[in-house]
Structure formats: structure tokens, C-alpha cells
Amino acid sequence: MKKNSYKNKATISEKLKTISKREADLFYSLCDKKPNVIKTKNFKNALLKSGLKINDNRLHNLFRKLDSSGDEIYFEDFKKIISSSELLVEKALRGELALPDFSDFSKSIDKMFDEVIKNKSGELASYIPPLAKVDPDQFGISIVTVDGQIYQKGDYNVDFSLQSMCKPFNYCFALEKLGLELVHKHVGKEPSGRQFNDLTLLTRSLVEKSQKKTTTIPFNPMVNAGAIMTACLINSDDSYKKRLNFVKEQYGKLIGWSAKSKFDSKFPRFNKNVAREENFTGHNNLAIGYLLMATGNLPSKKKKPKTNINTNKDEFDFYIEPSVTEALKLYFSTCSLEMTATEIATAASTLANNGVCPVTQNRILKQKTVRDCLPILQSSGMYDASGAFFQQVGLPAKSGVGGGVFLVVPQLMGICIFSPRLDEQGNSVRGIEMAKQITSKYLVHIFDGAMTNADRIDPKIPISRWRANSCGEAIWAASNGDIRTLERLASEQKDLSVGNADMRTPLHLAAAEGQLEVVKFLLKNGVNPVPDRWGGYGYFDAKNNNHKKILNELDKLNIKFSKPNHFVEDPEGKTDRIAKYDDELMVSELLFSAARNDTTRIRQLIAKGVPVHAGNFDSRTALHLAAAEGNLETVKLLINFNHPLNVRDRWKSTPLDEAKREKRKSVIIYLKNFK
């Protein structure tokens, strides 16, 4: 690229940005060498890389327009193309979807999956014959965020039996129709502490204040007694066929299915063979059904059987209460519905999204229904391992002996893991292990708000921002002499020795800015001096700025401080200005992204309007970091977006100086072409 074309590019881009700032920033973030046109494939790839799918209903019209747009798109056409789903496109391009760093998150889950798949312990469910015949090595996971991003791995598209995973959803359907008060006249809310099919789960006493009497109801909707009761409550006056169709339709809505949908969810499948086998082998459930009738709490149609039909004096017409058989039939049928991990993850994400399906944006359940359901899932969803599971994983979850387990991360995502081998409690072995790995890596445990461990990642923020967060507040507080903020961070057990992308720590900045009290505070709190990128210590920052009192404090440590190795080829050469940007955290995030060669995040920050040549407290820019790390792809991107070549940091080094000091040959050659 010639010099004059470089200048002309800057002029064009500035004109473009005055047209419509919001859309222009989005458009500009997708540009390459031409600032007034984007490549269609780049736009598509940016959306798909964010975790959205090409068959997403919300993007159907957009992708249809893209398919007829040719290879390149100009700004006016871009505005028309995104008009049908502008907010979703904006969130995707700006990195503001539920999982903003979707690619990095996906790679982490891939690694966990590859580790967990080695675990072959556990046994198939044997008391239902069809479940004993499934392939035990199947393993799949799907994650669906509240914004409709989808991660899939392994056997994510294999149909498997819901079994007990139907219980929380059936409970929601009953709540929607009847309300909390009426439903809980028939079923309780308390953890049982016993096996899910224990007959004694019918013996919990409940004192009804209004009627001043004691009755017995099942402990909660997650044990079999409670689930059978809940099934009975769903449209109890309708025929079995209508009730089953109603339940299937509700599941269809939860997973984003519709007859006109382009999304790949199918209508929930009913496995008649599994339901029949449940009937043949479910003697305990049959007993529970009749015990529920015996307590007087199972709703019945109150129809008296006909009498004197059989005229044989030694025979009588043996009566079977239809309310019991109908409740059991619907319960067995809903347990025998089959779906894929992606579909169940979508249903779980609907719960995470307060009842709004993430892929259709239709409200399926009332907010209160979801709020009333999740606490019971949290306390009782994992059979008699619920307490230990919640302590370790900390998320509302439900398992089934079909091998599935789903988890709800409120306001973020639904997760479904499928692997048929079960532990002694009837939970998927790999499902439990995968759930533990996810919460050990990411801050998604419900009580993680009380944690200050910087080693675990908050998936709701980009990785570069997470890294910037881990040090940014302390560094800025140290450079500005803000002792109170540092005291708060110390009380939260934040590591005050963590450095930025250049390994510059709060102690470096406090020494450079002459903040004596901050230096004393940091040393008193056990912060030891460490070298930065150039091998320099805060001692030389203080020395260069003639902060003698700070030098005296550091001399007390009796440490031999090494000198920094800065390289400045021409200190009096041309100097370009850095951009000033008010959001210091975003600037720090930009620099971390450049150091990581994360061009996707850099484009997202450009879409937010962050200037690529914004500088931090050391006047370091993204180009300094990319050049120092030898990240040629990022260097090219930054220069394409008009990053000045001769910005100078605190020590007067240019990006080219940094590349030369680190011997980054490819970057040196590239930058010299612009001189």
C-alpha cells in the first residue's frame, strides 16, 4: 500500500463515520483494505463465529439477503440488509451476546469434552429394557445461550429418552394452568432425602391452616410420586390423546419448534415402545399411583362405576380407577418423549431466559412460573445426590436415567449433556463430571458472586476484558493515589501484584507517578517488586521521575533491581498522537486483545467506537503490543484501520522499535514498508 492511499483511506473512513455513527461503526469493523465496502463472506463469518447459526429464524431474512448480495456490500445496502435483525447483528458484531468470547469458550469446552470422554465408568439403566440396549459410548453436549448462540459437540443430535428430565417442565405446565397455590395443595416443595421412587415419599404430613386438618402429599414434583401427581394435574378433564398432544406442543414451544420454522428443532418424538415397557416394569409407580388415590389428593373425575353388569353369581366387575391409570399413562408417556441434547439445552435456556425461548424470542412460560420452578430444581433435581451436586456445581439441574442431564445458568445459558452410563444415584457419570469441569473453569455457580478468585473466568465478559479487569482497577487506583480502592481490593483478596499486558503492575505505576503512600501500602500488603516486559522494576520508574522518597522505600528491600531494556532508534524522530478514550478498561482490553492476536475482539471494540490507537497510562497502544508479541495478523489489521505508525510510549519507543527489540522479523519488514 502506498503512502497516499493510506492517507486517502483515513479520509474516506472519517466521512463514512459521520453518516450514521452506530451503523457506520458496525460496517467499519467489517472492512478490510477498502473502507467503503465489506466482503459478504466476512459479514457471514463474523455472525457465525459469534455462535449464531445460519438456520436461526431471527436471521432468516438477513441470510437470504446476503445470499443475493454478491461478493461485496456497500454501506447503504448494509443498512437495508441488517434492518430485519439490527439489534441482534449489533450485539454479535460488538461482542455483546451472552457469551461474547464464544470461540474461546468453545475451545475450552472442547478440551473438557476430550478429557471427560475417557471416563467409561457407570452402568446403563437396566429396569427399562429399551434403555439397556442403547450404545453406552454415546456422548454429546449442547449449550444454548439466552441470545441463541449454540455450541455442539459429539452426539448432540441423537434422540434419547427424557425420563425424569420431563418432571420440571411438566411442573411448569401445571403451574401455568393452575397456579402455585392450587398445585401445591397436591404436591409439596421440600427435598426428600430419599430415593426418587421411595413409597414413603407419600407420608409427609401437611397442616392446612384453612381447614385445620392434616393430609399427606408427595414431597416435591421431582420425585416420582410428585411427578405422577403433577402429570395428573395437566388438563385433567381432557382425553389422554389431547393431554399428550398438549404436552408435546408445549415442549415444541420451549425448544423453538413451529410448523413454519426454518430452525432445526423437530416436533418432540414419542417412543411408544419405551412407554409400554415403563408400564410393564413400573410396578412401583403403579403402587404410587394407587397410594396417591388412597390419600385423597389425586384429582379424579368422581364417576361412579356401573353396577350389576356381570350376572354370574361368583363374578364381579373388577373396577380400576381411571384417574390413576390416566395419570400414570401420561406420566409414562412424557418420560418416553425423545429429544436431542440441543433441543433440551434450548428448553433449559428458555428457563434461563425467564421463560422466553432464545431462538424465537416468544414468551412460553411466565416469569413467576420459572422463578417457582428453579428453586425446586436446585434442591431436588439430582435425585439423592442433589445436595452434593448443588454444593459443587451450584446450578439448578435435572437428570434422567435415559442418560441426560440439563443445567440452567440463569440469565446466561442452558446446558444439556447426554451420556447413558449412570452412577449409583441414577445420574449420568460423564454428565456430572462435565458439569463440574465447567463450573471449575467458569464463574457460573449461583454463589460465585461472593468469589474473588481471579483464576476462574467470567464467561459473560470477553477474555481480554476479564484479564483487563483482573489488574486494571488496581493499576489505575495506584497511578492516581487511590488508597481506598486498593484497600477494598485487598479486602476482597484481589492479587495486587498482577500486571497488565506489558506486565506493568500497580507498584510500577505508583512508583512512576510518585504515589508514595500507595507504594508503602503495596509493600506492607506483601506485594513484591517484579520485572515488567523490559526487565524493569518500579525502582527505575521512580528514578527516571526523580521520586527520591519512593527510592528510599524501595532501597529498604535490599534487592538488586535490574535496568529495563528499552530500545529507541530515533528519540527525536516523527511522533504521532495517541487517541484519548474515556473508558480506561476498554483501552486495556484493546491492548490485551492485541497481545493475544485476538483480531475478532479488536473488530468488536472497533464496532463499539473504540479508536484503534487509544493509549494507556504508559502511552502504549495496540500496535505497540502487537509488534512486541510478533502478531503480524493484528499488526496488519490495526494499520488497515489507520493506526498511526509513529506513536511513542512513555519511553519514546515506537511499534517498530518494539518489533526490533524483540526481533520480530515479519513485523519489522511489514512496518518498514510504510516508512
Of 539, 555, 571, the domain-final residue: 555
Give me the CATH number covering residue 489. Answer: 1.25.40.20
Domain annotation covers residue 112: no
**Residues 526, 440 within the same domain:** no
Listing DSSP states for 97-148 in one string gives SSSTTHHHHHHHHHHHHHHHTT---SB---SSGGGGGS-TT--EEEEEETT-
Same domain, 67 and 186: no
Q: How many C-beta atoms surround the C-beta of residue 360 within 10 A?
A: 23
CATH of the domain at 264: 3.40.710.10
Would you say residue 567 lies in a domain?
Answer: no
Task: Name 278's bridge partners.
Answer: none
Cα 653 from Cα 642, distance rounded (Å): 19
Residue after which a domain boundary falls, among 507, 535, 555 = 555
What is the model's pLDDT at position 14? 52
CA distance 247 to 232: 12
pTM of the model: 0.87
Examine the domain organization and report whether 518 and 623 are in the same domain. no
- Residue 540 included in any domain: yes
- In the three-class reduction of DSSP (H, G, I as helix; E, B as strand; rest coil), residue 363 is classed as strand
- Does 457 reside within a domain? no
Residue labelled with grid coordinates 480506561:
584
What is the b/e burial string over 144-167, where b = at least 16 CB atoms within 10 angstroms of the residue's CB?
bbbbbbbbbbbbbebbbbbbbbbb
Give me the CATH number covering residue 87.
1.10.238.210
pLDDT, residue 518, reads 96
Q: Looking at the structure, do residues 599 and 660 belong to the same domain, yes or no?
A: yes
Q: What is d(CA 340, CA 332) in angstroms, rounded to the nearest whole number?
A: 19
- Residue 43 is part of which domain span? 3-93
Q: Which residues are CB-neighbours of 423 under 8 A, at least 6 positions away?
A: 121, 122, 385, 429, 432
As a whole number of angstroms, the distance between CA 463 and CA 600 comes to: 12
Block mean pLDDT (10 aa), the chain, length 675: 39 50 91 88 95 91 92 94 93 96 95 97 91 96 97 97 95 94 84 50 46 63 88 90 94 85 74 90 83 78 63 73 87 95 97 96 96 92 84 93 96 98 94 95 85 74 86 90 93 88 94 95 94 94 94 92 92 93 91 96 95 93 97 96 94 96 96 82
Q: How many domains does the chain have?
A: 4
Give the per-residue pLDDT at 307.
Answer: 61
Q: What are phi and psi of 366, to 5 degrees?
A: -65, 150
Q: Is residue 22 part of a domain?
A: yes
Is 574 inside a domain boundary? no
Task: Judge if 421 and 496 occupy the same domain.
Answer: no
Instruction: Mark whether 358 and 256 lie in a shared domain.
Output: yes
Q: Residue 271 falls within a domain, yes or no? A: yes
Same domain, yes or no, for 66 and 159? no
User: Are 603 and 640 in a shared domain?
Assistant: yes
Q: Is 336 exposed, middle or buried (0-12, 13-18, 19+ CB in 10 A)?
A: buried
47 and 165 together in one domain: no
Residues 445 and 377 both lie in one domain: yes
Residue 623: the pLDDT is 98
Residues 246 and 344 in one domain: yes
Strand partners, 417: 141, 405
Considering the domain architecture, whether residues 413 and 513 belong to the same structural domain is answered as no
Look at residue 404 and tell me if it is in a domain: yes
How far apart are the C-alpha atoms of 243 and 245, rounded to whole Å? 5
3-state secondary structure at position 576: strand
